[in-house]
Amino acid sequence: MPRGTLLAFDFGLRYTGVAIGEATLNSTRPLQTIETTGYRERLNQALAITKNWDPVLLVVGLPLDKEGNEQPLSQECRQFAQQLEQLTGIKTTLIDERYTSLEADLIMKERGMKVKDRNLMQHAQAAAIILQSYMESLGNE
């Protein structure tokens, strides 16, 4: 189990959610959503967030279809994760992110959030779910 801060990204072409966590405390929380359609800008914002939080590990959700196969966005996500690792020197791991956006929306709906308030926050909440899934997978090893 890594000790220190972990960051997770729910990669998307317009919205990329970011979450922060601490594995030893088994805690995660949504941090923010990067909103941009430009790949370079998205990567630069992710790098700035990473520099600010100084994590020991980065987790990136890998978009798969319902059968677990890669889809067109999967390759762009892999490239994003690879560049994050190369540019930061921080180990970056990919984890299946199927249904995390749906789960995030349900969580926020249960909290009584209105649709317009959920739209942007959903991506950061999905990143928190991705990070929680990663930490839970470590406990099962």
Q: Is the pTM of this model over 0.85?
A: yes
Give the model's pLDDT for residue 85: 97
> With contact defined as beta carbons under 8 Å apart, do 135 and 141 qualify?
no
Tokens describing residue 125: 């909440």
Average pLDDT over residues 95-111: 73
Q: How far apart are CA 52 and CA 45, in angstroms?
A: 11
Under 8 Å between Cβ of 43 and 83: yes
Residue 84 CA to residue 120 CA, distance in Å, equals 23
Residues 27 and 118 sit within 8 Å (Cβ to Cβ): no
The string of pLDDT tens digits covering residues 4-22 is: 999 999 998 999 999 999 9
Residue 10: both structure tokens together = 């729910």
Q: CA 10 to CA 35: how far, in whole Å?
A: 12
Domain 5-139 sits in CATH at: 3.30.420.140
The domain segmentation of the chain, as residue ranges, is 5-139
Contacts of 3 (CB under 8 A, 6+ apart): 23, 24, 56
What is the predicted pLDDT for the residue at 110? 77
Give the mean model confidence (pLDDT) for residues 58-87: 92
pLDDT over 80 at 109, yes or no: no
